[in-house]
Amino acid sequence: MPVITIGLLWHSLSSDNLGVGALTESQIAICESAARTAGVRLKFMVFGTQGGSRYAPEGADITIGSRISIKQMLTGRSPFLRELELCDLVLDIGEGDSFADIYGNKRFLFLIASKIAVILKGKPLILSPQTIGPFKQWWARKLSAAIMQRCARVFARDTLSADYLRALGVTKNIDEVIDVAFRLPFTRPLAQGGDRIRVGLNVSGLLFSGGYSGGNQFGLTLDYPGLMRRLLSAWATRPELEVWLVPHVVPDDFPVDDDRIAIRSLAAEFPNVSVAPSFKSPSEAKSFISGLDFLTGARMHACIAAFSSGVAVVPLAYSRKFEGLFASLEYTWVADGAKLTTDAAFEKIEQGLAQRVALTVAIERGNAIAREKLTRYERFLAEKLRANVESVHSKAGAAYVHSQVKP
């Protein structure tokens, strides 16, 4: 069976942000399914952020690539560049939403430099489903558009990103699908006894801290810590509810982003609530969430875990990635933390909890849309893998013929 090596750029199987890990595990699952259709065997080389966790899908042939260093690339001493030579094609998922300049120029330049490296190596570069932009600086818009026009394909994971691509002038090689984490494998736990409603509150340590820089970095129009406390005050005293605090970003060395620190603080104030484990993998987190009856949270991949496993969910948005993705699924039960007051967000979440049945009906429709979109993405990958094998065979045949020609 032909073997193809796929470079997974800006993926991670050790990130303490389980959302990035969910993208990677899901991407590998989709690629393996496409490979079976194409009749090939895959090897993966993963390039991206390293964290303190360790998880990987069983049975996959995976190598963790070298650190990406702009300095090493400029001086010609980059193991990353040498390892790119081993890849037949590269899938770049940009950690889901990092292909933007809103997180600072340093992060943006890392994303850009790695893409340029792939293109200069002559490897097909596919931008896997992700949020594209925004690019607030004119030079970032021009540079990003120029690079994307040289990609084999650019997949937006929501309608807003697809529209943004067209506004940048990138039109000929784009498609709109959905976040690959809708395909994250999970195991639903056995049904719990009793009649209590299992409610999950995913607390974002980042928003609880006011953002990376503090001082309401994301421009929320509500009091996020106050909203968390108000929800717990309302729920912890209701005997029909079993309330769980659920983390989804668990770094040991980055307290401003650690959901567990905020959760410990809240658990001390509300001792009647339960605290979910510090999950060891994205699939473990999704498996736990799939056993809930309702979830609200500000970590998008915690919300996707709920949605894709059929659990009623009210995402608490802090950026346009929420609006774009869930609007693409025709799902309106989103509380926008950058538009709503604390009172309005509280009421929206309470209404969602009360109308769980209506939410699950809407989620069922949304998951049907997601399945169709990801089937289209998988079909593209299968065709790309098949074309890669045919290209190799064609070149080998041409080389053989050339070698038989007598001078």
Domain check: are 97 and 246 in the same one?
A: no
Domain check: are 325 and 238 in the same one?
A: yes
Q: What is the CATH number of the domain that holds 151?
A: 3.40.50.11930
Count of structural domains within the chain:
2
Residue 26 counted as domain residue:
yes
Domain check: are 263 and 376 in the same one?
A: no
Domain check: are 37 and 161 in the same one?
A: yes
DSSP string over 25-75: HHHHHHHHHHHHHHT-EEEEEEES---S-----TT--EEEPPPP-HHHHHH
Q: What is the CATH number of the domain that holds 346?
A: 3.40.50.2000
Is the preceding peptide bond at 185 cis, omega within 30 degrees of 0?
no
Please, are residues 184 and 226 in contact by the beta-carbon 8 Å criterion? no
Domain check: are 393 and 313 in the same one?
A: no
- Regions in the chain scoring below 50 on pLDDT: 396-403
How much is the pTM? 0.90
Structural domain including 276 reads 197-354
Query: Token match 């699939």: residue?
Result: 283
Domain check: are 268 and 395 in the same one?
A: no
Residue 188 counted as domain residue:
no
pLDDT recorded at residue 56: 85
Domain check: are 230 and 320 in the same one?
A: yes
Domain check: are 213 and 349 in the same one?
A: yes
Residue 384 counted as domain residue:
yes
Domain check: are 220 and 348 in the same one?
A: yes
pLDDT recorded at residue 399: 43
- Rounded CA gap, 222 and 229, in Å? 13
pLDDT recorded at residue 126: 98
- Rounded CA gap, 173 and 153, in Å? 5
Burial class (CB in 10 A: 0-12, 13-18, 19+), 119: middle
Residue 363 counted as domain residue:
no
Residue 112 counted as domain residue:
yes
Domain check: are 172 and 201 in the same one?
A: no
Provide the β-strand partners of residue 42. 4
pLDDT recorded at residue 163: 95
Please, are residues 95 and 20 in contact by the beta-carbon 8 Å criterion? yes
- Residues 6+ positions from 344 with CB-CB distance below 8 Å: 222, 335
- Rounded CA gap, 37 and 1, in Å? 12
Domain check: are 157 and 266 in the same one?
A: no
Please, are residues 121 and 81 in contact by the beta-carbon 8 Å criterion? yes
The per-residue pLDDT for range 22-53, each reduced to its tens digit, is: 999 999 999 999 999 999 999 999 999 888 88
Domain check: are 168 and 217 in the same one?
A: no
Residue 189 counted as domain residue:
no
Residue 362 counted as domain residue:
no
Residue 71 counted as domain residue:
yes
pLDDT recorded at residue 253: 86
